[in-house]
């Protein structure tokens, strides 16, 4: 076992604090990664504060991991020492169910193994990227192409793939009108990606305070949803709406913005249920759907796409001792647009 430095939560109410955690020995198919940067995702906050159900404490969160391979198992063929690599929201799956065989490990019928908050094959709780090292089976390690800096690449392992997957699945591209609800950690990547795919992109945000940013990131239009006229003006406009916010919204109002056969896809995960009137769907053959990250193959595709188009997250790099402050700033929407932890400050 390898003992490494980490930052972890010990309860739903206490601040995260420095600690040490154990990593398993490197097996034949494992990769040992020295973590350089880890993004802070709103999911980290939901999990450690018990908002999605009881957590197994202590827990070191973090599933936006970028680093360097420092050791590989005897049978590893996909990675080598010195490689620039990433780890996202999953570290394993059954590999045998119909979804895993299709490369959709995020929908593993047995339940994928989360980077933190799950139980690993050795029976121990998984611990995430708020730590100096991690051991992951080679099939769940991604290659970070040259052309993306590691710090800007880290959030792509969750925020990037969470938005890329629905944009790709629902056909965002030339001739399509795409709206992005919210311009935060997820939303800013959705704008960048949809623009790079060739879609006409609109940001729907509560106010216009981030309008300049939205247009700079690639949006063609920007509207404030606090203005009731927005919903009248844009009725029936969009082929696809990607909702990135983790708060309750009026789904019926947003569904009214879809064209016939349009889809509203939720990637934000509010802790409370959302309701929808069936007539909001029936009236325009509209769809309300959800999307969960992406499989390993699609995540690699996303990273390669980002490298080709010179895309990375907009980040603010912080030392580990600023994690608790960063959590409060995330909740206050006071970050543009993703905090990334410099893991060297844990050493």
CA angle 222, 228, 234 (to 5 degrees): 50
- Domain 2-158+314-346 and domain 160-290 have a common topology: no
Tell me, what's the pLDDT at 272?
81
Concatenating the DSSP letter of every residue in 11-32 gives: SSSSPPEEEEEEEPPP-TTEEE
In terms of Cα–Cα distance, which of 52, 30, 33, 34 is closest to 43? Answer: 52
Phi/psi for 234 (5° steps) reads -100, 5
Q: Is the pLDDT of residue 198 over 80?
A: yes
Q: Is the pLDDT of residue 271 over 80?
A: no
* Per-residue CA distances from 326 to 17, 46, 203, 333 (Å): 13, 14, 25, 10
- One of 3.40.50.300, 1.10.238.10, 3.40.50.720, 3.90.1200.10 is the CATH number of 160-290, namely 3.40.50.720
Q: Which two tokens stand for residue 121?
A: 């094959």
Task: Categorize the per-residue pLDDT at 219 as very low, low, confident or very high, splitting at 50, 70 and 90.
Answer: very high
Question: How deeply is 2 buried, as exposed, middle or buried, from its count of CB atoms within 10 A (0-12, 13-18, 19+)?
Answer: middle
Q: Is the pLDDT of residue 273 over 90?
A: no
Task: Categorize the per-residue pLDDT at 29 as very low, low, confident or very high, splitting at 50, 70 and 90.
Answer: very high
Tell me, what's the pLDDT at 169?
97
119, 9 Cβ separation under 8 angstroms: no
60, 130 Cβ separation under 8 angstroms: yes
2-158+314-346 under CATH 3.90.180.10, yes or no: yes
Tell me, what's the pLDDT at 266?
96
What does the domain layout of the chain look like in residue ranges?
2-158+314-346, 160-290
Task: Categorize the per-residue pLDDT at 91 as very low, low, confident or very high, splitting at 50, 70 and 90.
Answer: very high
182-197 mean pLDDT: 96
Contacting residues for 120 by C-beta, under 8 A, at least 6 apart: 24, 91, 92, 113, 126
Tell me, what's the pLDDT at 269?
81
pLDDT digits (tens, 9 = 90+) for 109-167: 999 999 999 999 788 899 999 999 999 999 999 999 998 999 999 999 999 999 999 99
Tell me, what's the pLDDT at 268?
87
Q: Is the pLDDT of residue 195 over 80?
A: yes
pLDDT digits (tens, 9 = 90+) for 237-263: 999 999 999 888 999 999 999 999 999
Tell me, what's the pLDDT at 208?
96
Q: What percent of the chain has pLDDT over 90?
A: 92
Question: How deeply is 278 buried, as exposed, middle or buried, from its count of CB atoms within 10 A (0-12, 13-18, 19+)?
Answer: exposed
241, 181 Cβ separation under 8 angstroms: yes
Which residue matches tokens 């410099």?
A: 342
* Per-residue CA distances from 55 to 24, 73, 121, 126, 287 (Å): 21, 31, 19, 12, 33
Q: Is the pLDDT of residue 50 over 80?
A: yes
62-77 mean pLDDT: 98
32-54 mean pLDDT: 93
Q: Is the pLDDT of residue 100 over 90?
A: yes
In terms of Cα–Cα distance, which of 116, 42, 40, 66 is closest to 267? Answer: 42
Tell me, what's the pLDDT at 1?
87
Average pLDDT, the chain: 96
What is the C-alpha separation between 222 and 303, in angstroms, rounded?
27
281-292 mean pLDDT: 96
Q: Is the pLDDT of residue 233 over 90?
A: yes
339-343 mean pLDDT: 98
Q: Is the pLDDT of residue 71 over 90?
A: yes
279-288 mean pLDDT: 96
pLDDT digits (tens, 9 = 90+) for 289-326: 999 999 999 999 999 999 999 999 999 999 999 999 99
Q: Is the pLDDT of residue 234 over 80?
A: yes
Taking the model in full, what pTM does it have? 0.94
């Amino acid at each position: 076992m390898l003992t490494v430095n980490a930052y972890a939560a010990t309860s739903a109410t206490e601040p995260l604090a420095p600690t040490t955690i154990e990593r398993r020995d490197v097996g034949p198919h494992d990769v040992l990664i020295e973590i350089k940067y880890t993004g802070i995702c709103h999911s980290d906050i939901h999990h450690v504060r018990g908002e999605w159900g009881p957590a197994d404490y202590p827990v070191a969160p973090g599933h936006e991991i970028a680093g360097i391979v420092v050791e590989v198992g005897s049978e590893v063929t996909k990675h080598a020492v010195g490689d620039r690599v990433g780890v996202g929201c999953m570290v394993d799956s059954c590999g045998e169910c119909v979804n895993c065989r299709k490369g959709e490990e995020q929908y593993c019928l047995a339940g994928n193994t989360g980077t933190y908050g799950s139980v690993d094959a050795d029976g121990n709780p998984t611990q995430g990227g708020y730590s100096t090292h991690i051991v992951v089976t080679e099939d769940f390690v991604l290659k970070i192409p040259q052309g993306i800096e590691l710090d800007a690449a880290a959030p792509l392992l969750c925020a990037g793939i969470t938005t890329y997957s629905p944009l790709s699945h629902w056909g965002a591209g030339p001739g399509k009108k795409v709206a992005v609800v919210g311009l935060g950690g997820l939303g800013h990547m959705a704008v960048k990606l949809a623009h790079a795919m060739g879609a006409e992109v609109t940001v729907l945000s509560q106010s216009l305070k981030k309008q300049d940013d939205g247009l700079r990131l690639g949006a063609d239009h920007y509207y404030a949803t606090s203005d009731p006229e927005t919903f009248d003006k844009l009725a029936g406009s969009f082929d696809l709406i990607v909702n990135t916010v983790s708060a309750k919204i009026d789904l019926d109002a947003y569904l009214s913005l879809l064209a016939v056969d349009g889809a509203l896809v939720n990637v934000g995960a509010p802790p409370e249920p959302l309701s929808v009137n069936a007539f909001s769907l029936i009236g325009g053959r509209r769809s309300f759907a959800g999307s969960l990250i992406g499989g390993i193959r699609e995540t690699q595709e996303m990273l390669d796409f980002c490298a080709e188009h010179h895309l990375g997250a907009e980040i603010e790099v912080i030392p580990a001792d600023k994690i608790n402050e960063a959590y409060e700033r995330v909740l206050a929407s006071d970050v543009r647009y993703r905090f990334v932890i410099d893991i060297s400050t844990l050493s």
